[in-house]
Amino acid sequence: MNADDATALISEVSETERELVLTRFSHDDAWRLGCLLVELATERDLPVTIDVRKGTQQVFHAAREGTTPDNDSWVERKVRVVYRFGASSYLVGLRARAEGRDFNEIHQLPLQEFAAHGGAFPIRVDGVGIVGVATVSGLAQGDDHALVVEALRTFAAPSA
């Protein structure tokens, strides 16, 4: 990816994070968001692990056929990035790669504990900040990120 493409993608992902802010997020909301992600993954036969947290509590977790326990490890590592850096794991990784640097080396963080790869997205509530994380693992990182964003957009849309 060239510098212009990286800058445009970083801008797009940053704007998406500013745009996707909820008015509230309860345990029931976390469950509904997780179910929506499973529904999208099932319709497309995607081999993904889905995880939704409120605070540090795991409220929803599902692993579809074709995933392994390694996907659970990826979820944990991506979630840690969101909570530590206050941004999606994809955005944090994109910023490091745009500088031509390795995320884990820059921040001196162990690879076994932190993964700045797409798929973990902060759940923000207006006036509160980050209250949870929705994560997908199993696809290419841009696709993991896109699935979470799609589900959040659907979830946040006003009911018809």
d(CA 71, CA 45): 16
Q: What is the CATH number of domain 3-156?
A: 3.30.450.150
Domain ranges of the chain: 3-156
Element of type H or E holding 13:
helix 3-19
HEC secondary structure over 86-151: CCCHHHHHHHHHHCCCCHHHHHCCCCCCCCCCCCEEEEEECCCEEEEEEEEECCCHHHHHHHHHHH
Per-residue pLDDT of the chain (160 residues; tens, 9 = 90+): 666 788 899 999 999 999 999 999 999 999 999 999 999 999 999 999 999 999 999 999 999 999 999 999 999 999 999 999 999 999 999 999 998 899 999 999 999 999 999 999 999 999 999 999 999 999 999 999 999 999 999 999 876 4
Return the amino acid letter for 111. L
**Other Cβ atoms closer than 10 A to 55:** 14
> Cα dihedral sign for 25, 29, 33, 34?
positive
Cβ contacts of 156 within 8 Å, gap of 6 or more: 20, 22
Q: What is the pLDDT of residue 159?
A: 65
Q: What is the pLDDT of residue 91?
A: 97
